[in-house]
Amino acid sequence: MAVINYQNCPAEWLPMLTRVLCWFDAHNKAVVGKANKQPTRKDKDQRSSVSYFRYVADQWKPLDAFTKSYWQRAATYCAKTNYKLFVADTSYRYRNHLELPGTPSDFHQLWALAIKNPGGSADVRATWKTIAVTGPIRVWFAIKKTENSPPADYSFRVRAVASYMEGGENKTEEAVYTSDTGSFDWCWQSLEFGTSNRYYFELEVFLELHKYDAEVLIDNLKISDKSGQLYYEYFNPPRPNDWEPVPLVRKEGWEFNPFWDPTYFEQKFTI
């Protein structure tokens, strides 16, 4: 039987330890086949998760019908079945020695958009834009925030700005959500604004973390107008780490400031 020992290592050792682990993986987990291809560490981790299936089944079988229906409701947010969501969640818990089984959540499922501002020295903003919208407008999202230090000005904000023409002039209507200071767990927030049946030639949604050292997680972002759903994003790709924001083209898509980089933005796996 294998003997497992856990040891805390200084953060500055992690790059060196990662290189050492990759070297041992290449020699101890090598796969020889006709394709003559050496799988990456990521591929090996994904394949090794298959071995958790029998443990996941043991956790799934005792659940009653009500709990399984709760997993099904949570799975509708991320385009999965209840069992697929349970497998992903439970496998992650096994790998990281977390409490089993997990609890399904309407707020968040596995992946989220992380917005960060290390040191609170930058103006960090993610912007989603579209055109040709009819009021009223609703922006709906789940949010979780971890504060590292108090904000210098205001806390995290979500601003929705709709532009229209009236009397030959450009005018705007907007709604603003400002989060409470401090850290808080997942919760729903929404913005509802706009004049019924008014045509807006442009809609911009800003996620702003200016001069504030915190990490904000956003999930299940849904934007709708009078005609129905305009955009829905659960940041959960077909394959892990493959989510790519639609770039801003002709006033439609995502724009990131300062830029898309793990320092400020990332698609983050969290439960």
Contact (CB, 8 A) for 158 and 189: yes
**pLDDT for the residue numbered 46:** 65
CA distances from 56 to 1, 61, 193, 196 (A): 22, 9, 44, 49
Domain that holds residue 98: 45-103
Q: How far apart are CA 135 and CA 195, in angstroms?
A: 5
261 and 169 share one domain: yes
**pLDDT for the residue numbered 56:** 82
Confirm whether 196 is domain-assigned: yes
233 and 213 share one domain: yes
92 and 170 share one domain: no
User: How many structural domains comprise the chain?
Assistant: 2
88 and 54 share one domain: yes
99 and 118 share one domain: no
pTM higher than 0.75 for the full model?
no
* CATH number of the CATH domain containing 253: 2.60.120
pLDDT tens digits, the chain, 271 residues: what are they? Answer: 556 666 677 777 777 777 777 777 666 655 555 555 666 777 766 666 556 777 888 888 888 888 888 788 877 776 677 888 788 788 778 777 778 887 777 777 678 899 999 988 889 999 999 999 999 999 999 999 999 998 877 789 999 999 999 988 999 999 999 998 899 999 999 999 999 999 999 999 999 999 899 999 998 899 999 999 899 888 876 555 556 666 666 778 899 999 888 899 988 877 7
261 and 153 share one domain: yes
Confirm whether 145 is domain-assigned: yes
193 and 262 share one domain: yes
71 and 150 share one domain: no
176 and 238 share one domain: yes
